[in-house]
Copies of this chain bind each other. A is one copy, B any other.
Amino acid sequence: MDQEQALTALAALSHPTRLDTFRMLVRHAPKGCTTGELVEATGLSQSTFSTHLAVLAKAGLVRSHKQGRHHLQCADIDTLRALILFLATDCCQGRADLCEPLLADLAC
């Protein structure tokens, strides 16, 4: 993941609705949720939510495929992992000492 992709992903996640949506999709991974379920969960209008979803999709954080009449939305864990790695690389770059506490905390 390069800096431009990271910026797009960070911007996508920096909005309450989009972060909530993404976290909900991660919790439901890898099955996913339909767009309608997500709209209902946010309480926003359908059109407004659609634009939020497009932002997440453009960032590669969410992928969708049709299932019957519905669209099934799925979090892309690989992209999340790439974003985390991008941030962690900054933190580690030539300084493994700074990164050790992070690795310890991550041993979930």
Contact = CB atoms under 8 A, between A and B. Distances in A.
A44 interface: no
A53 to B, nearest CB: 18
Nearest to A12: B14
A46 interface: no
Contacts of A3: 16, 19
Query: Most B CB atoms within 10 A — which of A27, A87, A88, A103?
Result: A87
Give the interface size class of chain A.
35 or more
Contacts of A14: 7, 10-11, 14
A16 to B, nearest CB: 6
Given A19-B3, A102-B84, A106-B88, A93 B10 contact: no
Contacts of A81: 91, 101-102, 105
Interface in A89-103: 89-93, 95-96, 98-99, 101-103
A92 B59 CA distance: 21
